[in-house]
Structure 1
Amino acid sequence: MSKEMLNALDALEAEKGVSKEVVIEALEAALISAYKRHYGQAQNVEVEFDRKKGNIHVFAVKEVTEEVMDSQLEVSLKDAMLINPAYEIADKIRFEVTPKDFGRIAAQTAKQVILQRVREAERSIIYNEFSAYEKDIMQGVVERQDSRYIYVNLGKIEAVLSKQDQMANEFYQPHDRIKVYVSRVENTSKGPQVFVSRSHPDLLRRLFEQEVPEVYDGIVEIVSIAREAGDRSKIAVRSHDENIDPVGTCVGPKGQRVQALVNELKGENMDIVEWNEDPAVFIANALNPAEVSNVIFDKSNPKACTVVVPDYQLSLAIGKRGQNARLAAKLTGFKIDIKSESDMAAIYEQQNQEVQTEEFVEEELISEELAAVVEEDQVVAEDSVVEQVADEIIEE
């Protein structure tokens, strides 16, 4: 080993970003293993790498004892004091045992170990770099695809886009540039693995932060998102500044801001609604573009409600295949049952009839009970008269 080794380590650090100290530590550990393997030594060994000259020194470490039981691991106090009178029992003494041909043997043995440590260090650097992008968006290039994944090149690493994270209305071709949401980063035995998504609801959140400065600054807050990727989304927003309209801010002049997101997501429709503290108002807003006449909450279930809409608005409120109602329920967190005004009127009428029937039955029951009481009183009275007549006959 010489200064050429130091120059190689410096070049490795500059090109790969791998710390020279990490490589030297790996090298020292590998050389200890190489020495024990090639020279059949079981003693305690330390390897010291000269960071200035590039030389390597091997030291056998022995403990000072009163009586030597193992000469490879121990040295007598008498012999230790010949080296330095200050040595005491239990002190550690290093003896240099560097073989003449150790450099050649060590280089051959440690090569694979050093390469492995370098790969581990590179993986650690990549993992730390991309874990900082977790829950954020990045731009990548589609490389290839197989039956399980689409592989997206993010620069230093190839991320995977699974089928459930793809958008149904998109077809990916090699060399396509796409924005992806980094859903998670895992440090596996094969190296860092980055999972990305195009269907995650938070992809919308990050895209709005990029497109709308007020959202990025926190003036306008995205409270909740309900998304059916590639088809339609609903976004609830509110403003922390009373002078700023949250919906208008997100839509932008002539719809330019939201249109940029629609183009990025290949035509995915977006409904931006205003969040409100009043659940009834929020639910009515969430069912946009349908008009809502009334919102009735279920007393037995605080997270369920019935929404009444005009008859001609019923199909619009429910949406195609129930999509509008489904997204509104996800956005608000309420179980929503949509009824037309005529259906609700029929329900009220039926309820009134049931109440009237119950009242009529109760009145009939009361009448029957009264009649029974009267009849019983009459029987009692008649029995009293008969008894009185019988008494009079007996007296005569």
Structure 2
Amino acid sequence: MSTVVSGLPPRFDALSPEVVADPYPSYRELREAGPLCRMGPASFGVTRYRDVASLMRDPRLGSEFPDSYHRMSAGEGPAGEFFGQIVLYRDPPDHTRLRRLIGKAFSPSLVRAFRPRLERMVDDLLAEAAEGGGFDAVRDLAFPLPVMVVCALMGIPAADHDLIRPHALNLGRAFAAIVPQSDRAAADEAVRWLRGYLGEVLATRRAEAGDDLLSRMLAAEDGGDTLSHEEIVDNAVFSFFAGFETTTNLIATGCAALLEHPDQLGLLRADPGLVPRAVEEFLRYDSPIQGVARMVREPLEVGGRTIRAGRVLILLLGSANRDQERFDDPDSLLVTRDPNPHVAFGGGTHLCLGAALARVEADVVFRSLLRRFRVLAPAAPPTRRTGTFRAYESIPVAVEAA
């Protein structure tokens, strides 16, 4: 029989300067206080690994929110309306259909076939660093690479990458739990511009298909079911967030973590075969996405408290990934950690569609850094980028070529 808990759980302000700088001490305090915290009107954060891992697969939670929620979160413009169309915020049966069809375009075989081209991209980006004695891991690597990759996968010409990049960055503003008023115009313009651009590209693919993602999404069919023009455009726009923001921050936080832990960098130099484990540890240690929202569709109990239907639960992935009940020495970076059952990519039916691609990008990047440079060291303190995600503005790196 469950125990009913009285009193309010502690409040958590995810945007306080202390939390933005380093959320992990606050997460520890929250986990010790209980499995829930208050985060906003009718919303609670879930702090512990066991509950987060279980709730990601609980059918009583959904990802489809009412239009009023998206308008409250992102405003009345295109960004608020856009969320109702993408696979991230749809529940079965629509989510099942969209994921099945979009998944045909993001097949593992496509990711494997793309790796040689990805390796050339990384080599090109690092070539100047080898000559100049240093580079910025965000500006020169983590920021440009994911947009290059998504554009290449969609068959978008390289000449347009610089046009797309600022809109892809601003699109990330729309994915905050509550988009600040100061960011809403930029988020709306990003959605509007990317929809228009990709809509034109899609029209050319209808006339002459290729072997790119948009052509694959056009051709995807299952039992006579296909994707509409609007579904392809909006989910292609979403892929700029999924393929850009998360991967940018994975590469950046991984670089920052290695520079801060030269002993772990030494382990990777001694055994580059540890790179896949290291990538998983970067995802756990400083998760690019710290939390995901779920709508409570049926009453459920968490830690002795009944959460009513219509409430919102924020599954705090960053907190779960530092839970001492699940991970030994959770606040240490250990590139040899195995197993590593982190929840950085979510789980259940909403497991990140681009997880395989993000892992391959990070694997190529860190292998290339180890191969090209015999010295990787901080050139100046890194600076954080404020916002919802664990992101960096700048990570200056001093290097010596191998």
Fold in common (TM above 0.5) = no
Relative to its length, the structure with more helix (as a share) is 2
Higher relative contact order (CA 8 A, sep 6+): 2
Relative to its length, the structure with more strand (as a share) is 1
- Name which one, 1 or 2, has greater alpha-carbon Rg: 1
Normalised TM-score (structure 1)? 0.21
